[in-house]
Structure 1
Amino acid sequence: MLSRMYLQGQGVPADTTEAIAWLHKVVDQRFSVDGRMRFDPAHPELMSVRAEAAMTLAKIYMVGHGVPRDLRKARDYYEMASDAGYIPATAMLGTAYLSGFAGDKNIDKGIKYLKEAAEAGYPAALYQLGKVYYNGDGVAQDWTLAGAYFTTGAQAGHPGAQLAAARMYDFGESVASDPKRALTYYKEAAVKGVPAAQNALATYFYKGEVVDQNLVTARQLFNTAAMQAQPDAMYNLAVMSRNGEGGARDLSMAYVWFSLAKQARYPDAELALADVTPQLSQAELARADAILKPAGGTSIR
């Protein structure tokens, strides 16, 4: 597409004005509803030429790439992409109207767009609708409806929906408590890299609930989530490191993770840190301090 060449300066001098002109040659062509693209949930990245041009224009005005930033224009182009059949743009519009993007908050319009995207099979829209009804954002709170959206989104493979569905089955929110089903969704979300799901899954292995107790696996999962700054996992890993559970006892790393959990405002971290500190030798404390101290910076304590 010539517009991309002008936007990125590929073979020609970068020129946003010229890129916009070429993009308009695409979006300004006569268009009928019969020409809408068919959205494929299995390949949500696929776009028609018209939808791609509209999305590019939206991004140009969203970030102010070579033009003054204009959120209303950006939203107009997202609407054009949605009209062309690009369902992720429809979901973006739903979120935009719910949040008041570009100064226009309209809950009814936001839900309408999200439902349209959800009916087209877009998992992110199912997740967003679940959050709307779970939190009661501008609508009557309805955990049963939220659970239905979360579960459908989870079955479609959305990691956020998988975590949300897992929690509802875990805690019995609007559904009968079902630890096995919760575990299934936690596993699916954990594999996709969701830190809170990794922490929850680790807790199952730590306690030996539904699955056989495996402290090594629990510690590995807590570590994976803690490395992504998940507060519960940082604290839990600190406890296992202090106690020598699932691996060697490591007071230096216990001190490190309690310190980071405290920084993340985990409720019990400050007391745990105060308790473990006297147990460290000078060498162990120096090692912990070296890990916590950024290069050339000061210690995090």
Structure 2
Amino acid sequence: MKKLIVGIILLCSINLYADFAAGIYEYNEKNYEDAMVLWDEACNAGDIKSCHNLGLMLYSGKNVKQDYQKAMKSFSKSCKKGVDSSCYNIAIMYLRGYGVKQDYKLGIDFYDKACNAGNSESCYNLGNIYKDGQVVTQNFQKSKEYFIKSCTTDNMSACYELGNMYVKGQKEYIQAKEMFQKACDGGLNYGCYNLGVLYLEGNGVKQNKIKAKQLFKKACDGRISTACKNYKELK
């Protein structure tokens, strides 16, 4: 009896994967309706990846009829099973009122769930929400904690925002320098610019106008107009 049960589970798993893979094939072949049918069947049978993909198609409405309510149902299934990007999408839908009544609290709750599951963008967005204080009570400590989580998973925008908080708060220039350096090294030009300002003014680092000019040049090449101005003014 045990062997029979194991065999059935294995067979179901193979069938689920087959439908998911077939859906990928049909989608790549631009047979979008066929992909939806396959993912819908697999989702109803418990395949969370199919639920997420189905939700994305219904949410975007690209090449298929847009349906926010059905998208929410699909995302809910995969979010409950731990798909962090599905939880992230649900958060957006609640915050914007797509297919549901707008609910900031639920939106933030789903961002938090996604963040705790490792979704860096959710952590970053929560950092901004608590920093701005538009839909929640402003809380810089919470904002900082979320930015740290996001920066730790290499979200360079979060590292940049964290650097700004270190500068504007307790003037923690050494920590700010580390964050701006990481953002700059990660390709965020504003991080290079702010790092250049620290070197220009000697905050958290030994003053070094040559280094500052190099950083302004790098940021200028990234189309940061203020960096171009500073670069030209430095002799």
Q: TM-score range by the shorter chain?
A: 0.7 to 0.9
Check 1:231–1:81 CA distance in 2 against 1; reply closer, same or farther (3 A cut).
Answer: farther
Using the TM superposition, give the Cα deviation of residue 140 of structure 1 relative to its aligned residue in structure 2, in angstroms: 4.7
2:192–2:215 Cα contact (<8 Å) kept:
no
- Does residue 254 (structure 1) correspond to residue 219 (structure 2)? The answer is no
Using the TM superposition, give the Cα deviation of residue 192 of structure 1 relative to its aligned residue in structure 2, in angstroms: 0.8
1:78–1:89 Cα contact (<8 Å) kept:
yes
- How high is the sequence identity, in percent, across the aligned residues? 19
State the match for 1:226 in structure 2: 184
Using the TM superposition, give the Cα deviation of residue 190 of structure 1 relative to its aligned residue in structure 2, in angstroms: 1.0
Check 1:180–1:255 CA distance in 2 against 1; reply closer, same or farther (3 A cut).
Answer: closer
Deviation per CA, 1:100-140, whole angstroms, max 9, x where unpaired? Answer: 13322111111121222233343222111111222344555
| Residue among 125, 130, 147 paired with 1:164 | 125
CA RMSD of aligned residues (A): 2.6
Check 1:36–1:196 CA distance in 2 against 1; reply closer, same or farther (3 A cut).
Answer: farther
| Residue among 166, 173, 177 paired with 1:205 | 166
State the match for 1:277 in structure 2: 232
Q: CA separation in 2, counterparts of 1:140 and 1:231?
A: 38
Q: CA separation in 1, counterparts of 2:97 and 2:184?
A: 30
Q: CA separation in 2, counterparts of 1:244 and 1:187?
A: 25
The one-letter amino acid of 2:21's match is T
Instruction: Give the stretch that moved more between structures: 99-108 or 111-120.
Output: 111-120
More helix by percentage:
2
Q: CA separation in 2, counterparts of 1:145 and 1:62?
A: 32
Instruction: Give the stretch that moved more between structures: 135-144 or 250-259.
Output: 135-144
| Residue among 216, 219, 229 paired with 2:174 | 216
Q: CA separation in 2, counterparts of 1:231 and 1:130?
A: 29
Count of residue correspondences: 224
Q: How does 1:6-25 map to 2 (within 5 A)?
A: none
**Structure 2 alignment gaps of length 5 or more:** 1-7
Q: CA separation in 1, counterparts of 2:44 and 2:84?
A: 19
- Structure with max Cα Rg: 1
1:255–1:276 Cα contact (<8 Å) kept:
yes
Q: How does 1:1-301 map to 2 (within 5 A)?
A: 48-64=13-29, 69-137=30-98, 139-209=100-170, 213-248=171-206, 249=208, 250-261=211-222, 263=223, 269-280=224-235
- TM-score by length of structure 1 reads 0.65
The answer to which structure, 1 or 2, has the higher relative contact order (CA under 8 A, 6+ apart) is 2
Q: Aligned to 2:63, what secondary structure does the other structure show?
A: helix
1:71–1:101 Cα contact (<8 Å) kept:
no
- TM-score by length of structure 2 reads 0.81
Check 1:231–1:279 CA distance in 2 against 1; reply closer, same or farther (3 A cut).
Answer: closer
1:133–1:145 Cα contact (<8 Å) kept:
yes
The one-letter amino acid of 1:224's match is K
Q: CA separation in 2, counterparts of 1:138 and 1:233?
A: 37
Q: Aligned to 2:187, what secondary structure does the other structure show?
A: coil
Runs of 4+ aligned structure 1 residues displaced above 6 Å come to none
